Structure 1
Amino acid sequence: MIEIIRAAFVIARRDFTAIIFSKSFFFFLLGPLFPLGIGIAAGSLGSQVSRDIENPVIGIATSADDADILLATRLRLSRSLGVNTIPELVILKDVSGREADVIAKLNSDKSLTAIISGTLDAPVLSGSESDVKRWQGKIALLAETALSQPVTVDIETIFVGQTSSASERDQLLTAQAGQAILILLTMILAGMVLSNLVEEKTNKIIEILAAAIPMDAIFLGKLFAMLGMALVGIAVWSSVGLSIAFLVGGNLDAIPSPAVGWPIYCILLVLYFSMAYLLLGSLFLGIGAMATTVREVQTLSMPVTMGQLLVFFLAYSSITKLGEPMEWFAVLFPFSSPFAMIARAAQMDNIWQHGLALIWQGVFTMIIIRFSVMLFRRNVMKSGQAARKKSLFARVTGK
Structure 2
Amino acid sequence: MIETIRAAFVIARRDFTAIIFSKSFFFFLLGPLFPIGIAIAAGNLGSQVSQDIDTSIIGVALSPEEAEKLLATRTRLADSLGSKSLPELVILDDIPAQEADIVAKLDSTKSLAAILSGTLAGPVLTGSPRDVNLWQGKMALLAETALSQPTAVEIETRYIRQTGSSSDRNQMLTAQGGQAILILLTMILAGMVLSNLVEEKTNKIIEILAAAIPMDAIFLGKLFAMLGMALVGIAVWSTAGLSLSLLVGVNWGALAAPAVGWPLFCVLMILYFSMAYLLLGSLFLGIGAMATTVREVQTLSMPVTMGQLLVFFLAYYAITKLGEPVEWFAVLFPFSSPFAMIARAAQMDNIWQHGLALLWQVVFTMIIIRFSVMLFRRNVMKSGQSARKKSLFARVTGK
Provide Cα deviations, 1:113-170, integer angstroms capped at 9, x if missing partner: 222434678664321243235556887899899x9x9889968443314323223333
Cα distance change, pair 135–322 in 1 and its aligned pair in 2 (3 A): farther
Provide Cα deviations, 1:264-309, integer angstroms capped at 9, x if missing partner: 1111111011011001101111110111000110111111111112
Question: Matched residue pairs, number?
Answer: 380
Q: Residue in 2 aligned with 1:288?
A: 288
Corresponding residue SS for 1:239:
helix
Q: Residue in 2 aligned with 1:162?
A: 161
Deviation at 1:191, TM superposition (A): 0.2
Q: Residue in 1 aligned with 2:394?
A: none
Q: Aligned AA for 1:240? A: A
Q: What are the equivalent positions in structure 2 for 1:186-201 lying under 5 Å apart?
A: 186-201=186-201
CA contact (8 A) 2:66 2:119 kept: no
CA contact (8 A) 1:124 1:158 kept: yes
Q: Residue in 2 aligned with 1:275?
A: 275
Provide Cα deviations, 1:76-100, integer angstroms capped at 9, x if missing partner: 99xx99899864748474x732223
Q: What are the equivalent positions in structure 2 for 1:338-377 lying under 5 Å apart?
A: 338-377=338-377
Q: Residue in 1 aligned with 2:378?
A: 378
Q: Aligned AA for 2:215? A: M
Provide Cα deviations, 1:15-67, integer angstroms capped at 9, x if missing partner: 111112222222222221233245347648978x969x95855445556x679
CA contact (8 A) 2:102 2:126 kept: yes
Cα distance change, pair 254–124 in 1 and its aligned pair in 2 (3 A): closer
CA contact (8 A) 1:67 1:91 kept: no
Q: Aligned AA for 2:125? A: L
Cα distance change, pair 135–243 in 1 and its aligned pair in 2 (3 A): closer
Determine whether 1:258 maps to 2:253.
no
In structure 1, distance between residues paired with 2:220 and 2:45: 35
CA contact (8 A) 1:73 1:142 kept: no
Q: Residue in 2 aligned with 1:106?
A: 106
Deviation at 1:341, TM superposition (A): 1.5
Q: Aligned AA for 1:216? A: D
Q: What are the equivalent positions in structure 2 for 1:1-399 lying under 5 Å apart?
A: 1-37=1-37, 39-40=39-40, 43=43, 54=54, 56=56, 58-59=58-59, 61=61, 87=88, 89=90, 91=92, 93=94, 96-106=96-106, 110-118=110-118, 124-135=124-135, 156-164=155-163, 165-382=165-382
Cα distance change, pair 277–212 in 1 and its aligned pair in 2 (3 A): same
Cα distance change, pair 291–346 in 1 and its aligned pair in 2 (3 A): same
Deviation at 1:70, TM superposition (A): 9.4
With 334-343 and 125-134 compared, the bigger mean Cα shift is at: 125-134
In structure 2, distance between residues paired with 1:54 and 1:364: 42
What's the TM-score, normalizing by structure 1?
Answer: 0.80
Q: Aligned AA for 2:179? A: Q
Cα distance change, pair 252–96 in 1 and its aligned pair in 2 (3 A): closer
Corresponding residue SS for 1:114:
strand
What's the TM-score, normalizing by structure 2?
Answer: 0.80
Identity %: 74
Coordinate RMSD, CA, aligned: 3.7
Cα distance change, pair 319–71 in 1 and its aligned pair in 2 (3 A): farther
Cα distance change, pair 46–269 in 1 and its aligned pair in 2 (3 A): farther
In structure 2, distance between residues paired with 1:333 and 1:197: 26
With 274-283 and 132-141 compared, the bigger mean Cα shift is at: 132-141
Deviation at 1:5, TM superposition (A): 1.7
CA contact (8 A) 1:321 1:327 kept: yes
In structure 1, distance between residues paired with 2:374 and 2:178: 35
Cα distance change, pair 233–133 in 1 and its aligned pair in 2 (3 A): closer
Deviation at 1:242, TM superposition (A): 1.8
Cα distance change, pair 377–245 in 1 and its aligned pair in 2 (3 A): same
In structure 2, distance between residues paired with 1:178 and 1:82: 33
Query: Which 5+ residue runs of structure 1 have no aligned equivalent?
Result: 391-399
Deviation at 1:244, TM superposition (A): 2.5
